Chain A
Amino acid sequence: MFAYLVKRLISGALVVTLVSIAIFLLFWFGPSSPAQTICDRETSNRCGDRIEIYEKTLGYNNPVHEEYLKWAKGVFVGRDIQIASTTYECDAPCLGVSYLTKQSVSEELASRLPATISVAVGGAFLYLLFGIPIGVAAARRRGTVADKALVSSFLFLSSIPYYLFALLTWLYLTVLWEAPFVSDTGYFPITENPAKWFGGMFLAWVALGIFGCTQYTRYTRGAMVEALSEDYIRTARAKGLREGTVVYKHGLRAALVPVVTIFGIDFGILLAGTIFTERIFDIDGIGFWSLQAVQQKDLPVVAATALFSAVLLIISNLIVDVIYSVLDPRVRLS
């Protein structure tokens, strides 16, 4: 187990390094000079020859591997970043300075994290809250009309692109009908006004939850149908256990293993920033931020958000594998 963890951590670190190199190269060998945007912005579009000053101070004249090492060192110990005549201090973990706000990218990332975490936790909670009970209910009534109707309606729902579902939810409930409680979507800090925070997030959670739970219902139903046909379920019934105990204690426990795997990965994806959800419901989280950064060519921010989400996905994959081995004793990590 320990050896396995070490192995996975090393390969995870390798992937993160590769991804960061890829992102770095992408901007380095990108089309226009990476310094062009910031130069245009600071000189109000009269950049001209001054581009050279920016290229020099940002290090775009040095060999690429030197600059990458400088960047990588900054992640661990911090560094000073000079843009034209101004020097910006960037503490560890330094992911650069935003070309737009001149703030440390990692600090801005941290300030937007609560919004993204709010979306992710609420959405993921509803995945399970809706998905598992509905899946269990469908499995217990397998083959009935209710089961068939549920399976086909959920198949229908999950075949629609998610962002259109979310967009219509928002357009009708918030914009058109101005439904109470969800009339103002967005992120409001929970510490200031919990009720407003809840109201702002509610619609995003529901949209995520309803759409995402279709997948969980499908997996729970499948695993539950299989588990309920096992011998130990028959034994449990034969020795006179109550039906509820049989289904939830003996059946569901075995059926939950595959559900946990998908859930871990989905939660990682949600934490990495749900671009569509945040864009549609006006939530100023990491996904929305990365989208804005792309549109405004704020390169350090784009690189940081891409790296951040890759790291989150790798970590969630690792955690899922470990949990899997704990839940299912037949799985042995090696």
Chain B
Amino acid sequence: MSQPTAPETLGSLTDETSVDPNSTSAKEIAGKSPMQIAAGRLLKDKIAMACAFVILFFVLIAVFAGVISKLFGVSTDTVLASQYLDVLNGGMPKPEYGPPNGGFTMDHPFGIAPRTADDNLAYWLYGARTSLMIAGGATLFASVVGIVVGLLAGFLGGVVDKVLSFFVDTFLTVPFILAALTIAPILNERFNSSDNYPMIQKVSLVAVLAMFGWMGMARLIRGEVLSLREREFVHAARVLGMPTRRILFKELMPNLAAPIIISISLMLPAFVAAEAGLAFLGIGVTDGASWGRTISFAVTYFEQYPLYLWEPLIGVVLLVLSLNLLGDAIRDALDPKTRR
């Protein structure tokens, strides 16, 4: 991959119009790296671009959740909940504060929650932040662990490989949800008297997700390194006396970009779904805004107040769906064997 390849062979992979080799303009064809070719393919993929916009939308919401909620004049702090609620009607919001009994109000564009009178829009915005923060953090940690383990196992081989592969296999035999089920409450309880409990809960969730999410990456990287380390350019580097660290980072790493991107594209949607799923089960984020948590509250009120459930549900589905579809398009774009 890293050897210089003649531009002509790369030219046939792209959709550029072929140029007569005898004409003078032929010299202007620049060689493209495989990454550039993939990026070019991706930019032409309409579904992938639509998904990228949706993801960008959610990222902006997550980053500017505070600003946007101020703009709408809503907040996650509810003062004197009972003034908004119709106590005789099972704690449903009073008609003047929006659905399900009233119409749309600008004060609470998404309505307010039954029983707690929390503003749905504010919780939705901060839910996006929670979701992306936890998924992003878990992806980062899982990737670092996966890359390091995969590189070491593949490159060093021998006993190191055996031991690391054993750990990968062992972690794979523990079902993720059960592991999270067991560990998350233990971590939570340790800190539940602490002042910044919500923050610690999120950090521990990231740790649990990363702990059971790195194996796929490690396997993929190990396999790739196993074949790469027998290639001529690695042998050449070793003969030239390059230190192992430089071989790893300068020779191997650039060739691992594709598997790394592919693993990340698989991890992100899985972590977003897992975060919401755990919160739905009542063992993820239990203090603070999370889409999954709102969904689990909303199930009871679904018959009278379906909108309350649909708002966070659409958030999760849209985000996971577009992350998955974009990931799929990226994998296709990176695969030179894809027919188009």
Contacts and interface: CB of A to CB of B under 8 A. Distances in A.
Interface of A: 15, 18-19, 23, 26-27, 30-32, 155-156, 158-161, 163-164, 167-168, 171, 175-176, 269, 272-273, 275-276, 279, 290-291, 294-295, 297, 302-303, 305-306, 309-310, 313-314, 317
Contact of B324 (A15, A19, A159, A273): A159
B281 A15 contact: no
B295 A167 contact: yes
Contact of B181 (A27, A32, A302, A313): A302
23 contacts: A15-B169, A15-B170, A18-B170, A19-B174, A26-B182, A30-B190, A31-B187, A31-B190, A155-B328, A161-B276, A163-B280, A164-B317, A167-B295, A275-B177, A275-B281, A276-B277, A294-B185, A306-B174, A306-B179, A309-B178, A310-B175, A313-B173, A313-B174
B313 A164 contact: yes
B56 interface: no
Contacts of B169: 15
Given A159-B269, A302-B182, A30 B189 contact: yes
Contacts of A164: 295, 313, 316-317
Contacts of A175: 302-303
B145 interface: no
Interface in B309-331: 309, 313, 316-317, 320-321, 324-325, 328
Given A15-B170, A159-B324, A279-B281, A291 B189 contact: no
B245 to A, nearest CB: 32
Contacts, number: 101
Interface string B181-203: 11101110111000000000000
Given A15-B169, A19-B170, A176-B303, A309 B175 contact: yes
B281 A156 contact: no
Contacts of B280: 163
A310 B174 contact: yes
B178 to A, nearest CB: 5
Given A167-B299, A275-B177, A160 B182 contact: no
Chain B interface: which size bin?
A: 35 or more
B182 A294 contact: yes
Contacts of A269: 175
Given A160-B317, A167-B295, 11 more contacts: A23-B182, A26-B183, A31-B187, A32-B189, A161-B317, A163-B277, A164-B313, A306-B179, A306-B181, A310-B174, A314-B173
B290 to A, nearest CB: 14
B296 to A, nearest CB: 9
B282 interface: yes
A56 to B, nearest CB: 22
A250 to B, nearest CB: 25
B210 interface: no
A161 B316 contact: yes
A328 B299 CA distance: 47
Given A163-B277, A290-B181, A31 B189 contact: yes
Contacts of A32: 189
Contacts of B316: 161, 164
